[in-house]
């Protein structure tokens, strides 16, 4: 579960022991909200810039060789007159020229063959589905506090703390939560976890198979990601059993990878499609709210309770050539950043038990810093792949100037305009404060982050599936046209930050059904 990133700007401060009053002798806490993340480009590491160009020129050796060979080949042919070409081919003096021409031709054919054989097959996104729970599971902020009080699991200080978090969370009054979490008994059981998983996963998959007109037995690759609920048999096995999928399906179950696991799962599915041509892959992204509910009084562990809500997405990918015409998007780039080698990043979000032996996610005070560093690294690596040449040139000029002059005389670093690289942005809907800071650092407009803000308000933080609810919002508004580029950005525990870039294959018309926004789209956007 990657609820940690929803809290990128929240810090719990122990204020010590109350010396007087009715709470004398008890520990007191305050919530300190950091209003700014670290500026991403104040200290750019050239290592990550070079890494981005390494991705860019992965096959450039072939593309550079071909023009050179064509030029040499043309020069050789051009050196022989048209009238004398046939005659020279039969003369002994022309044997050297003929051998040279044939050698160049052989190298050219070989280079083209290697290039086309090593070039990745295109990966198409046929369609996706996002689960929309029943209306009876809607919980407003007032309902949340009232139900928390009635459950008897929290003291007054914990209730007040959660109420303060909700007020600034950016979450609306129509999000969904399992009712079992408010029951007096323990809801973090395998039975409750499996029940919630069956509801959200099968709901999303049923919708996906209906939309794509694909039978479950046609799927050759299945990737499921759920961070904190990992039963045995696995969730992927549960899906195979429910839909009676074929016996040779390639099944994977990813756990403990946080809110960015949805992009990791797509990356794994893409690699498997490269090794298994003419195939379908299904990627399921979800998190179990009830199983991960924290019933204790540790403030840092209470924060995820306020942000996370029910949700699930299912995505159908294909590498079949005939799916070119019906696909919605083509996969362009995936860039993954992992900061787990650093101890602070590794322990920034840590699952453990509190003093009462209740399990929960412990949020480190270093989360803001390590999260900003991971975001900066990922964006720096992605830049060379997507930014136009003019933006990259300006970026390098200011970077070199800062390197040469340094100190106080250095000019302010140039922030590349990512609006020139993408038409649409789907930034993980973590929290209002996190979205505010990302918008400020990347200089995005309100329109650019509209899908993320509205998803946070309507559905809350649904973990790894949130970027798909955001794309559903864009499609519902008929914003996506042919050739548009969509950037999905997610971050999670570890600490990880991942990006995925899609290109629209056609204009996406407003859906009439099977979209979680259908019943409320006319009310959005709203002022937050």
Point out the residues that are catalytic. 259, 338, 424, 428, 457, 461
| Contact call for residues 3 and 301 (beta carbons, < 8 A) | no
Indicate the angle between helix axes 367-386 and 432-442, nearest 10 degrees. Answer: 40
Nearby residues of 69 by Cβ (< 8 Å), 6 or more positions away: 104, 107, 108, 111
The span from the CA of 516 to the CA of 132, in Å, is 5
Indicate the angle between helix axes 389-405 and 367-386, nearest 10 degrees. Answer: 130
Report which secondary-structure segment, H or E, holds 337: strand 329-338
Task: Using alpha carbons only, give the angle 282, 283, 289 rounded to the nearest 5 degrees.
Answer: 135
| Contact call for residues 286 and 468 (beta carbons, < 8 A) | no
DSSP string, 140-184: -HHHHHHHHHHHT-S-HHHHHHHHHHHHTS---S-EE--GGGGSS
Q: How many residues does the chain have?
A: 528
Single out the residue of 145, 139, 150, 182 nearest to residue 165, CA to CA: 145
The span from the CA of 380 to the CA of 389, in Å, is 15
Whether residue 233 is preceded by a cis peptide bond, meaning omega within 30 degrees of 0, is yes
Exposed / middle / buried, residue 31 (Cβ in 10 Å: 0-12, 13-18, 19+): middle
* Tokens describing residue 337: 């950043």
Q: Is 377 left (phi over 0), alpha (psi -120 to 50) or beta?
A: alpha
Q: How many CB atoms lie within 10 A of CB 485?
A: 18
Single out the residue of 386, 336, 423, 333 nearest to residue 123, CA to CA: 333
Sign of CA dihedral 55, 57, 59, 61: negative
> Which of the 8 DSSP states describes residue 294?
-
Pairing mode, if any, of strands 312-318 and 349-353? unpaired
Single out the residue of 191, 200, 157 nearest to residue 296, CA to CA: 157
Nearby residues of 354 by Cβ (< 8 Å), 6 or more positions away: 296, 297, 298, 301, 360
């Amino acid at each position: 579960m990657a609820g940690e990133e929803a809290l990128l700007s929240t810090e719990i401060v122990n204020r010590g022991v109350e010396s007087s009053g009715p709470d004398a002798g008890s520990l007191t806490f305050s919530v300190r909200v950091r209003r700014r993340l670290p500026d991403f480009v104040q200290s750019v590491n050239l290592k990550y810039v070079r890494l981005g160009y390494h991705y860019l020129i992965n096959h450039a050796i072939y593309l550079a060789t071909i023009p050179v060979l064509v030029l040499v080949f043309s020069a050789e042919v051009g050196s022989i007159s048209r009238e004398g070409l046939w005659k020279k081919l039969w003369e002994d003096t022309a044997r050297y020229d003929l051998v040279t021409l044939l050698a160049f031709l052989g190298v050219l054919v070989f280079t083209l063959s290697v290039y086309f054989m090593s070039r990745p097959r295109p990966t198409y996104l046929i369609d996706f589905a996002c689960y929309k729970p029943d209306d009876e599971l809607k919980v407003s902020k007032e309902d949340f506090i009232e139900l928390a009080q009635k459950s008897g699991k929290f003291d007054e200080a914990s209730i007040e703390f959660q109420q303060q978090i909700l007020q600034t969370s950016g979450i609306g009054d129509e999000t969904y939560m399992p009712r079992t979490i408010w029951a007096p008994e323990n809801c973090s059981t395998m039975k409750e976890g499996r029940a919630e998983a069956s509801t959200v996963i099968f709901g999303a998959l049923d919708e996906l198979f209906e939309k794509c007109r694909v039978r479950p037995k046609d799927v050759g690759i299945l990737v499921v990601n759920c961070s904190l609920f990992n039963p045995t048999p696995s969730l992927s096995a549960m899906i195979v059993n429910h839909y009676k999928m074929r016996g040779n399906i390639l099944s994977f179950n990813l756990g403990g990878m946080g809110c960015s696991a949805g992009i990791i799962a797509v990356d794994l599915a893409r690699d498997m499609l490269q090794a298994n041509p003419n195939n379908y892959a299904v990627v399921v992204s979800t998190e179990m709210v009830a199983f991960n509910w924290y019933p204790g009084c540790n403030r840092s562990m209470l924060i995820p309770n306020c942000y996370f809500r029910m949700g699930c997405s299912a995505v159908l990918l294909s590498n079949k050539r005939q799916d070119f015409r019906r696909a919605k998007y083509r996969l362009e780039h995936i860039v993954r950043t992992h900061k787990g080698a650093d101890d602070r990043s590794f322990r920034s979000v840590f699952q453990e038990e509190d003093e009462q032996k209740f399990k929960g996610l412990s949020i480190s005070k270093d989360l803001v810093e390590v999260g900003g560093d991971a975001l900066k690294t990922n964006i720096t690596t992605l830049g060379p792949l997507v930014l136009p040449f003019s933006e990259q040139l300006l970026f390098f000029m200011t970077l070199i100037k800062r390197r040469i002059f340094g100190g106080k005389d250095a000019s302010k670093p140039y922030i590349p305009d990512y609006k020139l690289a993408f038409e649409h942005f789907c930034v993980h809907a973590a929290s209002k404060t996190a979205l505010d800071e990302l918008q400020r650092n990347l200089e995005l407009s309100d329109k650019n982050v509209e899908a993320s803000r509205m998803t946070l308000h309507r559905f809350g933080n649904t973990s790894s599936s949130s970027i798909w609810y955001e794309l559903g919002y864009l499609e519902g508004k008929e914003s996506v046209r042919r050739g548009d580029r969509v950037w999905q950005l997610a971050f999670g525990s570890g600490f990880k930050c991942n990006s995925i870039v899609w290109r629209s294959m056609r204009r996406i018309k407003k859906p009439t059904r099977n979209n979680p926004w259908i019943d409320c789209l006319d009310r959005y956007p709203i002022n937050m």
